[in-house]
Structure 1
Amino acid sequence: MALAPIVVIVTARNLEIDNSSRNAASAKWKSSWAATNDLDHLPPFEHEATFRVSWDKPTPVILTSDSRRTTTTLPDIFGTESSHIPVLLLAWAYILSARWAELIPSSHLSQHPSQPTHQLNGNGLMTSPRNRNPITVHVGEVDEDAARWWNMLLSGEGCWEATMRNSRGNILYSPWSTRLVSEQPFLISAKIKAIGSASSHSSLATSNTAHRYLSEYCHFHSINDQKQAALAAALLIPVAKFDYRPIELAMLNFPYIFFEPDVTSNICGMWLPGSFALLNSVQDPHILLKTLMERDPGLGGLWVGAFITGAYSQCLQDGRAAWWKIDLNAAAWTETYMSFMQTPVHAAPRARRISRADECRLLYLCRCLDHYSIPPLFPFAPFGSTALADTNLDVREHALCGRSHSLGYTGFTWLCQDGEMLEQGKRDMPLTTLRPKCGEVVDCGDVDHDDFDLEDENSEMVTRNIFAWLCEQDGFPIAERAIREHEWIDNLEDDDDSLIEGEARSTVGERLGGWRLKTSTQRSYSL
């Protein structure tokens, strides 16, 4: 499971933006990787990726008093003061969007034309024209511009917009744009210490100014810890956009990873239900959040954000099905062990066999064929080993070269206008160290294992996928005929696949089902 997208703070001011799509705009960048510290031994390589920079709709943030409707959890680790988090979430959404508008070409921040202009009364209150009982938000001693900004931020009238246009002239919104829908209006209570600027007809603020307003609010209420939790939630607003869902929060009364490196593909389907039998036994979402945070404290902040925004539900659902995408970039940025591909391949110059996991790693690092430039879809390693004589020629060379190899992150590059490249976070040495899971193992009571899948369909799916990745190009070694004929693998064959005969033969022909070979083989003894 990935809590992606992990947000990268953009520093390039002249990004090349592709705005040809109807409902999104995107930028491109490349991440850089190296297999060894000696770049002459195996050349470094790059992954090109697309970074979505705008959407066609803002994300609704719904404040409701109906507990049955809320799909999110406000962590009780902050006690009763967690009621500030919805306000802080909206403030961070504005700050991130304002920064987006300052950096993305042809984008701008604007105040909605229909935004009501409330007036300060003698008590420093921003009065509201609505008749429903308001929620009073105390912002402390601030200048008039800050009070107006808070009033704009908490208005449900559309308030602010961070937008750009696509090639057809349609409006696109920043990834963190929100639209507040609240059952009750807000009333801003402030002690005004300075008259607003001449431009106070506009309530907009730069990202730096808005961050100052937020910091003053958190200092006034002594809630700096909630400020960080709300930032974690705001960074995950794009996840709600991907899921096409609103973020539903209780009314203001108020990349964890399901992966272990020692679990191989053929048993992952039996291992995962054990983990979820424990998680399913936890009915209180606050306890569930604490359980996930204690398992991997390094990702605790992201779990807080996932629970606040409701993203955790889809994360757990994907984990139960053993179906989540591996994002090596997110793994590098969080220094998280997300895939067996991140494990180093240690030097073994006299070896006669190689584990299939190491075989996969070297195929990916050598990138001898285009097929192997994309890592395996699932995180669990294949089981067993292969005779080196039966492996790809590049795998054999580097398995015996006497050097260690590992997937190391070295940074990424933004693709900007006029062909300009802007490097960000470049490293002289590849980053290969991973943050260990340092959470405590907690003793627990009985859990319900009734949901165990006795047919183990998840293990079958993951095993079939990893063997397809490993053997699709050159076929199975002759010595592994029994594996190819296993029911988990054999059912991938097409009805018109020819029978394999002989002791050392490579078949060539059209690939209809993904199992026939292409025009060449790089294994010595393969079917």
Structure 2
Amino acid sequence: MQDTIQPDSATLKQFYERGYRQWHEVYSLGLASPLDVTALDIQHAFPQHPYLVPELQLDTQSPGVIYATGTSTWQTSTGGCPLPSFEKRYALPVTARCPINISLRPNYPIANLDSFGQSGHIAILTLAWAYVLSQRWTEIIPGAAPIEYTTSLAAQPDSSDGFEETNDTAIELGVVTDEAARWWVAVLAPGEGWLALTLHRGTYLRSPWSVSLQPSEELTLSFRTTPFRSGHQTPPSFSTAAGYIADYASYHGAEDQSCAAFAAALLLPTRRYVSDKLCWPCPSRHNERPEPPARQCWPPWGEDRRQLDRLLTMSCNTIGMLSLVSSSFVDPDIPCNVGGAWMQGAFAIIDELSAQAPLVLAIAYIIDLHSAAWTESFVSFVQRAVADYPPHVETIQRADEARLMFLSQADHHSEPPLVLFPPFGAIAVKDCILEVQLHSSCGGRHGLVYAGWAWDCQGNVKVGQDPHSSPSEVKHANRQPVADIAIRYDKLDRNRDCSEALTRNMFKWLRDADGYPVAERGIRDWIDDDWSSGEESVAPEGDGKSTTGSSRRSVDIPRSNDAIVWPIEPRAVVTERRCRDWAMPSPMCGGAVAPEIGPSLGHEDHVTITLYLVSASSEYQTGAANSSTPSNMDEHEAAKLLRLLEEAKSQLNQEQRRREEADQRLQEEQQRREEEQRRREEEQQRREEERKRREEADRQRDEANRQREAAEALAGSALPQTVPDYLEAARPHHIRRCGDRRSRLEVAIGATPAATTFVV
């Protein structure tokens, strides 16, 4: 293709056709190959994925979420190249603030539901699997309390003699024990029938799979058992609950639906990220039960409990799950300047399906290299190996330049680009930064390879979980050429193409830190509208040190590989907004918000998140109070966009209020601590004064004792030595005169003068 920023119409049409054909082929294969859930090998899936351990040292710095943290190791080269490996910090949330609200409705339409039979037990089984995952969560997460039943109970039969005559939406359990009946009554209770909680800063947080079932008069239970006892019973362990699910699936012949429901339960945290509401169809009664599948695996994770923990850990990582879901739209052979045309072709097929069953609202591209490595998926062009160049090569592809910049962890390039499509064209090696020049033809092989993981555990201990196999590069599947088909071009629209936004972001990542070489002056002129053509560079052409500088509208490169880029479909436009920190949610299509990425940034750190919002307009600034709508929007689209903006504004206001309340609580806590410290200091001062008083009293008492002893010693030395002398000395004190008569005095003299006793 042409090495230009804005390709001509023929080139855009070519890549539009490519996207159209690729996704038409995917659609055709889906129709030709019905979904077979039993073919899913869940018990051996994702062997590279780490799993949570009970010894975790959780990160509790954020007020509304708890994180499990760790460090990954990445190799960068082989073959004698000195380029070192590097480490990356990573955090994944393990709690939720609130449950996801689920409602069951009769005959609610869901595409492809017929693939699992007519009864539709997936909703019921998903609720049951949510309990199993939450119960296992309470065993792993430090500080989590065991699951407890609430007082909410599902509707149940009044008689235990037999099955009641129930409506078509009644849920039959068959013959069950009292414990199993109590468990099902809690699982299908309106609201929350069970709670999996952990206390965090005075607030209870829930397990990521916590659910709240909306009340439904049509949802009742039908079962046979001994008389039901509603007294206190202990909730079952996760393995016992899995056995109850197995009995239910066997009774209804719904083993395949149970596997699908387990996969659906794993996606509940990700669903909460998009929306906290979910609607499913109620199960319907049928006289005939399907035959059980020939191949069964129970439980779905097999005999290794660590496999359940891997799936549980993967499910907690909502950012990683969204990255994996959006990885379906990754084609590393598509340059960024035509990526929008390729996506328009893909959405031309998706929009046709959405018109029949509107399931796809938008696509959010999120680049998460950790989840990609753990599941051996492809989410970014940086995962491809750098091409082998001969010695003293003069020109390399810009895509390989970007890969080498990231692999070398150069300044301002320690995180991958926010654009999953590679930059177009080639660049002279002398125009690259020093790290790229050193490794472009050093003889080694360069590529991003995941090498291991270590959890942060209690006592500053690192618990490593290395890959089960030797490190290997993640490779993208090469699609076979597709047959010629009739192509509709009604979705090809250059005015709605997001390729320009992708290209701007790509070159900002490449050049904002070190500037543009003179050879790319035209690109810089296009990127920065305020650049003056008369301003000359002080650096010679091609030396890679141009000081003509970064764009005035430069985008801060986030310091987390969880950085979010939201290209929401080919009609998207660029919008930038500044957040206080990662924990502030950002608006997304459909009213969803960006997740709380992690605690690595403080309140004074600022990042700019680039959003690609669904609209049929040109630029639309979310942060401004601009309610005008472009002339090419119809009334419905304008109202929808304004509603989304109002919802985003409301969410930001709510988040701001929550932050202000949190800051106020922090200030109150700080004041309380200062008051407590002041009281401690006053108490210490009081004790010090008391100690001094006691010491002074002791000193005075000692002084009095010394004076008394000195007086006694002096008095002892002056005592008379004869009896008359004693009598004469004692006379004034001990002899009374009574008239002219005198008392008879008897004197008894002891061994010493001090022991002398006078008796009258």
| TM-score in same-fold range (> 0.5) | yes
Task: Give 3-state SS (helix, strand or coil) of 1:354's partner.
Answer: strand
Structural mapping, 1:295-310, within 5 Å = none
Whether the 8 Å contact between 1:355 and 1:385 is mirrored in structure 2 is yes
Structural mapping, 1:73-84, within 5 Å = 73=111, 75-81=113-119, 83-84=120-121
1:270 paired to 2:354? no
Following superposition, the deviation at residue 313 of structure 1 comes to: 3.3
Task: Give 3-state SS (helix, strand or coil) of 2:507's partner.
Answer: helix
Pick from 161, 176, 179 the counterpart of residue 212 of structure 2.
179
Whether the 8 Å contact between 1:410 and 1:428 is mirrored in structure 2 is no
Following superposition, the deviation at residue 113 of structure 1 comes to: 3.6
Following superposition, the deviation at residue 111 of structure 1 comes to: 3.0
- What whole-Å deviation, never above 9, does each CA across 1:363-385 have from its counterpart, x for those lacking one? 1111122x111100111000011
Following superposition, the deviation at residue 251 of structure 1 comes to: 2.6
State the match for 2:237 in structure 1. Answer: 206
Whether the 8 Å contact between 2:50 and 2:465 is mirrored in structure 1 is no
1:162 paired to 2:196? yes
Gaps of 5+ in 1: 1-5, 289-311, 517-527
Distance 1:50 1:496 in 2: 45
Distance 1:440 1:94 in 2: 45
State the match for 1:105 in structure 2. Answer: 142
Distance 1:481 1:462 in 2: 19
Pick from 425, 433, 436 the counterpart of residue 395 of structure 1.
436
Indicate the percent of aligned positions where both proteins have the same amino acid: 32
Pick from 256, 259, 263 the counterpart of residue 228 of structure 1.
259
Structural mapping, 1:183-198, within 5 Å = 183-192=216-225
Task: Give 3-state SS (helix, strand or coil) of 2:147's partner.
Answer: strand
The aligned amino acid for 2:348 is A
1:481 paired to 2:545? no
Structural mapping, 1:132-171, within 5 Å = 135-167=169-201, 169-171=202-204
Distance 1:490 1:509 in 2: 10
- What whole-Å deviation, never above 9, does each CA across 1:203-253 have from its counterpart, x for those lacking one? 511111111211222223232222221122111111222224311112323
State the match for 1:30 in structure 2. Answer: 71
Whether the 8 Å contact between 2:66 and 2:94 is mirrored in structure 1 is yes
Paired residues in the alignment total 465
Structure 1 residues 365, 266: CA separation in 2 closer, same or farther (over 3 Å shift)?
A: same
State the match for 2:504 in structure 1. Answer: 464
TM-score normalised by the chain length of structure 2 = 0.56
Following superposition, the deviation at residue 200 of structure 1 comes to: 7.4
Identify which range, 9-18 or 433-442, moves more after superposition.
433-442
Task: Give 3-state SS (helix, strand or coil) of 1:35's partner.
Answer: strand
State the match for 1:250 in structure 2. Answer: 281
Following superposition, the deviation at residue 445 of structure 1 comes to: 5.3
Pick from 459, 462, 470 the counterpart of residue 429 of structure 1.
470
Following superposition, the deviation at residue 41 of structure 1 comes to: 2.9
Pick from 225, 238, 247 the counterpart of residue 269 of structure 2.
238
Distance 1:123 1:441 in 2: 62
Whether the 8 Å contact between 1:340 and 1:381 is mirrored in structure 2 is yes
Structure 1 residues 119, 432: CA separation in 2 closer, same or farther (over 3 Å shift)?
A: same
Distance 2:481 2:195 in 1: 44
The aligned amino acid for 2:389 is A
State the match for 1:514 in structure 2. Answer: 554
Following superposition, the deviation at residue 164 of structure 1 comes to: 0.8
Following superposition, the deviation at residue 173 of structure 1 comes to: 0.7
1:259 paired to 2:326? no
Whose Rg is larger?
2
Whether the 8 Å contact between 1:63 and 1:181 is mirrored in structure 2 is yes
Pick from 86, 89, 95 the counterpart of residue 45 of structure 1.
86
Whether the 8 Å contact between 2:95 and 2:207 is mirrored in structure 1 is yes
Structure 1 residues 442, 140: CA separation in 2 closer, same or farther (over 3 Å shift)?
A: farther
Distance 2:343 2:258 in 1: 34
Whether the 8 Å contact between 1:149 and 1:203 is mirrored in structure 2 is no
Following superposition, the deviation at residue 349 of structure 1 comes to: 3.1
State the match for 2:161 in structure 1. Answer: 123
Task: Give 3-state SS (helix, strand or coil) of 1:386's partner.
Answer: strand
Distance 1:136 1:445 in 2: 48
TM-score normalised by the chain length of structure 1 = 0.78
Distance 2:373 2:356 in 1: 29
Whether the 8 Å contact between 2:58 and 2:67 is mirrored in structure 1 is yes
Following superposition, the deviation at residue 190 of structure 1 comes to: 3.5
Whether the 8 Å contact between 1:368 and 1:394 is mirrored in structure 2 is yes
Distance 1:283 1:466 in 2: 30
Structure 1 residues 357, 440: CA separation in 2 closer, same or farther (over 3 Å shift)?
A: closer
Distance 1:497 1:277 in 2: 44
Task: Give 3-state SS (helix, strand or coil) of 1:100's partner.
Answer: helix
Distance 1:401 1:349 in 2: 9
Q: Considering Cα pairs closer than 8 Å and 6+ residues apart, tell me whether 1 or 2 has the greater RCO.
A: 1
Distance 2:153 2:230 in 1: 16
Gaps of 5+ in 2: 1-45, 286-323, 557-760
Pick from 340, 360, 367 the counterpart of residue 381 of structure 2.
340
- What whole-Å deviation, never above 9, does each CA across 1:288-336 have from its counterpart, x for those lacking one? 9xxxxxxxxxxxxxxxxxxxxxxx635xx12xxxx51211122223322
1:454 paired to 2:491? no
Following superposition, the deviation at residue 104 of structure 1 comes to: 0.6
Following superposition, the deviation at residue 38 of structure 1 comes to: 6.2
Following superposition, the deviation at residue 112 of structure 1 comes to: 4.2
Distance 2:94 2:80 in 1: 33
More helix by share: 2
Task: Give 3-state SS (helix, strand or coil) of 1:24's partner.
Answer: coil
Pick from 404, 408, 424 the counterpart of residue 449 of structure 2.
408
Structure 1 residues 262, 116: CA separation in 2 closer, same or farther (over 3 Å shift)?
A: closer
Whether the 8 Å contact between 2:99 and 2:276 is mirrored in structure 1 is no
The aligned amino acid for 1:140 is G
Following superposition, the deviation at residue 400 of structure 1 comes to: 1.2
- What whole-Å deviation, never above 9, does each CA across 1:95-140 have from its counterpart, x for those lacking one? 111111111111123334423496883336699xxxx968322233
Structure 1 residues 195, 366: CA separation in 2 closer, same or farther (over 3 Å shift)?
A: farther
